[in-house]
Structure 1
Amino acid sequence: MSEPPAGPYDVITMGRLGVDLYPLRAGVPLAEVETFGRFLGGSAANVAVAAARLGRRTALVSRTGADPFGEFLHRALRGFGVDDRWVTPVEGYPTPLTFCEIFPPDDFPIYFYRRPKAPDLHLDPGDLDLDAIASAGVFWMTGTGLCEEPSRTATLAALRARGRRSRTVFDLDWRPVFWGGAGGASSDGGSTGHDAMAAARPHYAAALARATVAVGNADECEVATGEREPRAAAEALLAAGVELAVVKQGPKGVLAVHRDGTVAEVPPVEVEVLNGLGAGDAFGGALCHGLLAGWELTEVIRYANAAGALVASRLACSSAMPRPAEIEALLAGQRP
């Protein structure tokens, strides 16, 4: 895409982008997998795709390697209707690959290949169109973008450009392996898990002070605030500076608390889970859509919850993002 858009973007996301290589059979360990599907991946990219599927004008700010996988990601973004003008190549660093194992309903080990350094962590403040970021209806950034320089400085510069404009979203997006942890979430990272959280927390606090919406699960909330219990975590996120705290609880549903006292507690949507890895990104894209539409908080969370459930029932992430009719059908009681 080369021509500038007419007016501000609905959604601009910033952060992780790579290629997902997922087994085409569930219940098979990677050591025994023979065939993989290739998909666009990365949380920020998936959220942009999810919002585009719902009719929003979206763009991604990220980087790839100067290699064929990077070319694939550009084609994929454009095919999904996501503006890729701010996705640029980095010489000398390969486009990241991510593998997973699929053991439904709740075991999806994930393996990141992002060394020596992921191109999306080479985002520099000079790479940013701060006017576009400031004017977007939603700006979405992630915890991964804070884990290394120069991406950390660029992410905070983007938040400053927003000036605490409404719908500035911090996806808490905790991946301890990117912060020196051994893997897993919070204390599951073994002796390094708590060290990784301690390294991340001040940077999360700096971002929370400039965001207006925070979204995360119990582990991610613990990194950001030290709290895991949903209501305590939501209150701690509000105290840290945001206006809306969204706490995802997996099989227990979602809690959302607004600074004005509005509370939404939404139960899970029952589906047969195939791959849960893309559900949070589908939730994020639908959350952006609902916030932009000005819906009541409970309606926003119900819609986002249904979008996430649909993707959890499918193999892929980006290509599995639902369209409005699919979400509406599920909410009306139809099985996916």
Structure 2
Amino acid sequence: MSAAPAGGDPAPPPAEVLTMGRVGVDIYPDQVGAGLEEVTSFGKYLGGSPTNVAVAAARHGRSAAVLTRVGADPLGRFVRRALTGFGVDDRHVRAVPGTATPVTLCEIFPPDDFPLYFYGRDPAPDLLIDPAELDADAIAGAGLFWVTGTGLCREPSRAATLEALRIRGRRRHTVLDLDHRPVFWDSREEARDQVARALPLATVACGNLDEWEVAVGTRDPAEAVRRGLDVGLETVVVKQGPDGVLAATAGTVHREPPVPVEVVNGLGAGDAFGGALCHGLLAGWDTAATVRFANAAGALVASRLSCADAMPTTAEVRRLLGDPGPAAGPGGPPAGEGP
């Protein structure tokens, strides 16, 4: 249920982009190519995939908010301060007493090895979101609603994620990011069973080949698209790393080649892709324009060290695409393309 803020002021309007789920603090080494046992200094950044997606969407001028939970600790305060600093609404972020805000460490071995180490996720506050706490008006009213496969890995987050999708009622731009992290699941079979419950409640799903294999049982991109459309998705996005992106609707199929960059840290690329995908969907661009823009946004972040802090602006993405001209709408479609 929604309530007006204290003092009788009207509730602020729903966000254009509302994401739900994982949040934490990323502790990334300053030394690239070194194991954690050799690293001597680190940087502290806002983290968590759906949180990064909201930041990325805000960088493209979208009003964005995150529905999540943090620990009642200094890092939880850091998360909220970082969100508002990025222009992301933190009204749906609450602290859970007795829990710690999760921390994620990584090692950086370009171009394709970035091991992650998760701490403080047992229990993670973001997995303690209860269905009774959901703001139905915010979920139903958002221009785009984004949930993740990770949100299905434990109760009560699993029930809350499914209930949020039911509240959403398959409104346009209801996105399931497959976001499979094996460390959070007891088995791939359990993950597949739970994702199978969520897929028919979404209108858009995106993920890499491993995540689609968990979700629908195949690593073949074209077959993953077919199976995704068969369960009722309107848009299916398959990220293939060095082979680019395959995206499809019932009437279109688009293959987008990779954007060549010098990779520094690939961990935030998928989240930058996600925020740009939100932007293109809300702008009404066609599939080709949306995926082209999102692919370039992901490439830009892969060429940078951090995740949330590294999310590109619309102008940066357009420059990478060779289109520095004025926007033709909310952020403007890539040159020569659009609705």
Please give the range of the TM-score, normalised by the shorter of the 2 chains. Answer: over 0.9
Q: Any gaps of 5 or more consecutive residues in structure 1?
A: 181-195
Partner AA of 1:130 in structure 2: A
The 2-side partners of 1:168 and 1:59 are apart by: 15
Cα deviation, 1:107-159, whole Å, max 9, x if unaligned, reads: 00011113431000000012211111011110000000000000000001100
1:140-289 to 2 correspondences below 5 Å:
140-180=146-186, 196-259=187-250, 261-289=251-279
Match of 1:106, SS state, is coil
Q: Which amino acid aligns with 1:248?
A: K
Residue 333 of structure 1: how far off its partner (Å):
7.5
Higher deviation after alignment, 107-116 or 34-43 = 107-116
Instruction: Supply the distance in 2 between the matched residues of 1:114 and 1:305 (Cα, whole angstroms).
Output: 32
Partner of residue 79, structure 2: 73
User: Residue 269 of structure 2 contacts residue 298 of structure 2 at CA under 8 Å; is this kept in 1?
Assistant: yes
The within-5 A match list for 1:98-117 is 98-117=104-123
Q: Provide the C-alpha distance between the structure 2 equivalents of 1:316 and 1:284, rounded to a whole number of angstroms.
A: 16
The alpha-carbon distance between structure 1 residues 5 and 308, as it changes in their structure 2 partners (threshold 3 A), is farther
Q: Distance in 2 between matches of 1:44 and 1:209?
A: 20
Say whether 1:330 aligns with 2:336.
Answer: no
Deviations 1:195-249 (A, max 9, x none): x110111110110010000000000000100011111111111112211100000
**Structure 1 segments of 4 or more deviating over 6 A?**
2-5
The answer for the alignment partner of 1:90 in structure 2 is 96
Alignment-mate amino acid for residue 78 of structure 1: T
Q: Which AA in structure 2 matches 1:126?
A: A
TM-score, normalised by the number of residues in structure 2: 0.92
- Secondary structure of the residue aligned to 2:46 is strand
Q: How does 1:4-153 map to 2 (within 5 A)?
A: 6-153=12-159
CA RMSD of aligned residues (A): 1.2
Aligned-partner residue type, residue 233 of structure 2: V
Aligned equivalents of 2:179, 2:21: Cα separation in 1: 10
Letter in 2 for 1:178: F
Could you tell me how far 1:9 is from its partner in structure 2? 1.4
Residue 295 of structure 2 corresponds to 305
Q: Distance in 1 between matches of 2:183 and 2:120?
A: 11
8 Å Cα contact 1:227/1:236 also seen in 2:
no
Does the Cα contact within 8 Å between 2:14 and 2:137 map onto a contact in 1?
A: no
Partner letter of residue 262 of structure 1?
A: T
Q: How far apart in 2 are the matches of 1:278 and 1:4?
A: 36
Aligned residue pair count: 317
Residue type at the aligned position of 2:259: V
| TM-score computed with the length of structure 1 as normaliser | 0.92
- Three-state SS of the structure 1 residue aligned to 2:93 is strand
Which structure 2 segments of 5+ residues have no match? 325-339
Q: CA contact under 8 A between 1:205 and 1:240: conserved in structure 2?
A: no
Kept in 1: contact 2:60–2:279 (CA 8 A): yes
After the TM superposition, which residues 306-321 of structure 1 pair with which residues of structure 2 at under 5 Å, given as runs?
306-321=296-311
Task: Say if 2:31 and 2:40, in contact at 8 Å, map to a contact too.
Answer: no
2:192, 2:168 → 1: CA distance? 22
